[in-house]
């Protein structure tokens, strides 16, 4: 995708230290840029282009799903607040381990909700629990791929622009959000027919 001739791209050793979080991505780094240059970078190939476009997909999915009554549920609104906090913490973290730790609160919240469902304190569609397990599995697997930095760890330089662990993690998170949506829709359909116990 080359719609605009961008600046000369940098190698890992010459890029600012705050961008040196994946030593297996060797080339294609943008130089320090102004806001206007950052916008222009949407139209030429560099090693963050896939990350930028996959980041852009998440807000579009959230806005699309926001049109449904799903997000009026308290637990899901809390989930989104924790997700936003986690993303903020992850973007300010300097290492992959610190980035992963930023999502601990979100993971704990989801695990507590899962325990409520499994041990009968919480209710919902029996079919939705499977969707939520898939959702969490995709999210955890995406985080691990990003931390371990595969596949670029095995062939440094080959995945500089496309297919690196950060992009794989983004795609897995997008799939995870879709499973969250499907599980929540399943619960909402179930709750229409659910009768509360009288005693």
- Contact status, residue 146 vs residue 169, Cβ threshold 8 Å: yes
Task: Give the Cα separation of 3 and 65 in Å (integer).
Answer: 31
Residues in the chain, total: 199
Alpha-carbon 72 to chain mean position: 22
Cα angle 45, 166, 63; round to 5: 85
SS3 content of the chain, % helix, strand, coil (to 5): 65, 0, 35
Nearest Cα to Cα of residue 17 among 119, 126, 95: 95
181 annotated ligand-binding residue: no
170 annotated ligand-binding residue: yes
Q: In the Cβ-directed half-sphere of 19, how many Cα atoms lie within 13 Å?
A: 18
Binding residues: 166, 170
Binding region for Zn(2+): 166, 170
């Amino acid at each position: 995708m080359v719609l605009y001739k961008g600046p000369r791209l940098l190698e890992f050793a010459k890029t600012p230290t705050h961008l040196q979080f994946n030593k297996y991505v060797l080339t294609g780094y943008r130089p320090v840029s102004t806001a206007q240059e950052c916008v222009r970078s949407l139209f030429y190939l560099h090693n963050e282009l896939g990350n930028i476009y996959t980041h852009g997909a998440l807000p579009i999915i959230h806005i699309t799903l926001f049109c449904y009554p799903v997000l009026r549920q308290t637990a899901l609104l809390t989930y989104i607040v924790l997700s936003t906090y986690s993303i903020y913490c992850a973007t300010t973290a300097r290492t992959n381990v610190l980035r992963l730790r930023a999502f601990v609160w979100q993971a704990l919240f989801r695990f507590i909700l899962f325990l409520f469902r499994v041990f009968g304190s919480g209710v919902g569609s029996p079919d939705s629990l499977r969707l939520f397990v898939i959702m969490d599995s995709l999210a955890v697997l995406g985080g691990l791929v990003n931390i371990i930095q595969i596949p670029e760890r095995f062939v440094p330089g080959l995945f500089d622009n496309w297919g690196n662990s950060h992009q794989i993690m983004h795609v897995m998170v997008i799939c995870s959000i879709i499973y969250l949506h499907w599980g929540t829709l399943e619960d909402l359909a179930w709750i229409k027919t659910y009768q509360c116990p009288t005693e």
